[in-house]
Copies of this chain bind each other. A is one copy, B any other.
Amino acid sequence: MTSRQEKAIETKKRILRTALDLFSEKGFDRVSVDEIVRKSETSKGAFYGHFTSKYDIFLEKFKEIDQFYSDFQESLPDSLPAEQKIRKLAIAQMEYLRDEMGRDGIRSLYAYALTPSVDNYLSDTERPLYAILEQLVSDGQEKGELTTSASSGQLALLLSRSMRGTLYDWAIFDGDFDLAGEIDGWLELLFRGIRN
Chain A residues close to B by CB (< 8 Å): 27, 29, 83, 104, 107, 110-111, 113-116, 120, 122-123, 144-150, 154-155, 158, 161-162, 164-166, 168-169, 171-174, 185-186, 189-196
Residues of B within 8 A of A107 (CB): 114, 116
**Which of B145, B165, B190, B195 has a CB less than 8 Å from the CB of A83?**
B195
Tell me the complex Cα distance, A17–B150, Å. 45
**Which of B104, B111, B194 has a CB less than 8 Å from the CB of A146?**
B194
- Which residue of B is nearest A160, CB measured? B169
Interface majority SS (helix, strand, loop, mixed), chain A: helix
Residues of B within 8 A of A161 (CB): 165-166, 169, 186
Residue with the highest number of chain B CB atoms closer than 10 Å, among A120, A166, A189, A192 = A189
**Which of B114, B146, B162 has a CB less than 8 Å from the CB of A196?**
B146
- Which residue of B is nearest A109, CB measured? B114
- Which residue of B is nearest A145, CB measured? B196
Residues of B within 8 A of A162 (CB): 165
Residues of B within 8 A of A146 (CB): 194-196
Q: Apart from A111-B114, A190-B193, what are 5 other A-B pairs with CB-CB below 8 Å?
A: A83-B195, A110-B168, A150-B194, A161-B169, A161-B186
Residues of B within 8 A of A195 (CB): 83, 145-147, 191-193
